[in-house]
Amino acid sequence: MQAKFTEKKYVVTLIFAISLFMLWGVAITMGDVLNKHFQNILHVSKANSGLVQLSLFGAYAVMGIPAGLVMKKFGYKNGVLFGLALYAIGAFLFVPAANSFSFTAFRIALFILACGLATLEA
């Protein structure tokens, strides 16, 4: 007899959850990789490149409580969808940031992306 968790109806859900956690990990570790590239391409000093980490982890400080309130008011499903929407918006904002070669635009995109991650963690 096969265990209920390994039934075929859960395979798609499991793949979706695993891929979300992979994207989550990529987004968090992306800041470390981007720091060196920002220093080389955008001529950002080492001190200013620390603002990348501030943008990523500052979003957790800013968005933690509002994300919890969104979850409480609208439910977990809508909260997860809201977090994924913020994540996607932040990711798509990398395109205009790359076209403008603006360090500030990259930081804004990272902040919005991290707000989505903070919402997903709430």
Note down pLDDT in tens along the chain; length 122 residues: 556 656 677 788 788 888 888 888 887 787 788 888 888 888 888 888 888 888 888 998 999 899 889 888 998 889 889 999 999 999 999 999 989 888 899 999 999 999 999 898 87
- The reported pLDDT for the residue numbered 96 is 93
- The answer to whether 114 and 90 are in contact (CB under 8 A) is yes
Distance CA 47, CA 12 (A): 44
Distance CA 99, CA 36 (A): 19
| Beta-carbon count within 10 A of 6 CB | 9
Query: How distant, in Å, are the alpha carbons of 13, 91, 99, 100, 111 from that of 106?
Result: 32, 10, 10, 9, 9
- The reported pLDDT for the residue numbered 3 is 60
- The answer to whether 105 and 97 are in contact (CB under 8 A) is yes
- The reported pLDDT for the residue numbered 49 is 83
Cα atoms in the Cβ-side hemisphere of radius 13 Å centred on 83: 27
Looking up residue 97, the CATH number of its domain turns out to be: 1.20.1250.20
- The answer to whether 83 and 54 are in contact (CB under 8 A) is no
Q: Which residue has the tokens 């968090």?
A: 28
The pTM of the full predicted model, rounded to 2 decimals, is 0.80
Number of folded domains that form the chain? 1
Host domain of residue 82: 4-121
